[in-house]
Amino acid sequence: MASEVAEEAADRDVFGGVDSHADTVHVAVISDNGGHSADAEFATAAGYVAALAFLNTRG
């Protein structure tokens, strides 16, 4: 099932959005047709590195 999702995502553009707060960063990824792809929240300075890795693995 995961490979089917990956193949579908490979044909689409994705967009990432970041909402930063004092202690956290929330990252969301949507497809070019506006569908929700993924989202996650990260905390601490190490969270910025994790947020970038999260975005990189989703397109």
Overall average pLDDT of the 25-29 stretch: 94
pLDDT band at 15 (very low <50, low <70, confident <90, very high): very high
pTM: 0.69
Q: Measure the CA–CA gap between 48 and 40, rounded to whole angstroms.
A: 12
Q: What residue has token string 């929330």?
A: 26
pLDDT band at 44 (very low <50, low <70, confident <90, very high): confident
Overall average pLDDT of the 29-50 stretch: 90
In angstroms, what is the C-alpha Rg of the chain?
Answer: 12
State how many domains the chain has: 1
Higher per-residue confidence, 29 vs 2: 29
Buried b (16+ CB within 10 A) or exposed e, 23-54: eebebbbbeeeeeebeeeebeeeebeeebeeb
Provide the domain limits for residue 6: 2-56
